[in-house]
Structures are given as structure tokens and as C-alpha cells.
Structure 1
Amino acid sequence: MKTISLKIDDVIFSETENILESLDKPRNRYINEAIEFYNKVNKKSLLAKKLKAESKLVAENSMDILSEFEDFDYEN
């Protein structure tokens, strides 16, 4: 477990405190869950970008291979 110090905008802090009263949840737990959720969202986004870039590379290779097959003489 790590201890950190945060500076939170007043509006966000007030809104969070109001929500926490309704949820009856400790602030620390709420913030940890929020960061965990945000990490998951960003991991998915980064993975999607990586897959898109790699798909472009594979697509270029696939087109080259397809072209070679089209040039191939199947009768010989």
C-alpha cells in the first residue's frame, strides 16, 4: 500500500464528498476504485491503438503475399 498526496479541484472534491455521503463509502476506497476503473479504460484504449497499428502492418504484408499468389502459375 502506498501513501500519496493529491491536489483535487474544489468542485470535484465537493461533488465527491456529496456522493460519498450517499454511498456510505470511505473516500480512500472510492478513489482507489475510480483509479482502478480509469486504468482499465486506458489499458483498453492503448491496446486498441496498438492493435490498429499492428493490423495496418499485417494488412500491408497480406496484400504483398496476395499479389505473389496472384502471380503464381498454378499449372506448373
Structure 2
Amino acid sequence: MKTISLKIDDHIFQETEKIVGELQQARNRYINEALASYNRIQRRKLLKEQLAFESELVREDSMEVLADFDDTLLETLPKD
């Protein structure tokens, strides 16, 4: 476990203290859970951005493969 010192805006601290009191939960536990939740959100956001980037990289190739597939499919259909 690591110990850190951080500065929290007064209004965020006051809101946190109120919620921690209502939940009857230790402030440390509350902040740990909040950071874990925020980390999950940020990890998903980063993954989404990475997937969008990689999808764009292969987009043109994918379209060419689909066009080739369509051509091959048309070639196999009986001609009237």
C-alpha cells in the first residue's frame, strides 16, 4: 500500500466528507474505490480510442477484401 499526499478542492472535499459520513465508510476506502472506478472508465476510453485508431488503419484493406469477396461471389453465380 502506498501513502500519498494530495490537494483536493474544498467543495470536492466537503462533498466527499458528507457522503463518507452518510455511508459510514472510511475516507481512505471511499477514495480508493473512487480511483478504481475512474481508472476503469479511463481504461475503457483509452481502449476505445486505440480500437478506433487501429480500425482506421485497416479500413481500406478491409474494403478491398470485401470488394474481392463480392467479385468472387458474383463470378460463382449462374449466368442467365
User: TM bucket by the smaller chain?
Assistant: 0.7 to 0.9
Identify the residue that residue 45 of structure 1 maps to in structure 2: 45
Deviations 1:17-69 (A, max 9, x none): 011110000000000000000000000000001101111112111123345x3
Identify the residue that residue 58 of structure 1 maps to in structure 2: 58
Normalised to the residue count of structure 2, the TM-score between the two structures is 0.80
Identify the residue that residue 27 of structure 2 maps to in structure 1: 27
The number of residue pairs the alignment matches comes to 72
Q: In the alignment, residue 54 of structure 1 is paired with which amino acid?
A: E
Normalised to the residue count of structure 1, the TM-score between the two structures is 0.83
Q: In the alignment, residue 15 of structure 1 is paired with which amino acid?
A: E
Q: Matches of 2:66 and 2:26 in 1, distance apart? A: 59
SS in 2 for 1:25: coil
Spell out structure 1 runs of 4+ moving beyond 6 A: none
Q: In the alignment, residue 8 of structure 1 is paired with which amino acid?
A: I
Q: In the alignment, residue 31 of structure 1 is paired with which amino acid?
A: I
The runs of 5 or more residues in structure 2 that have no matched partner are none
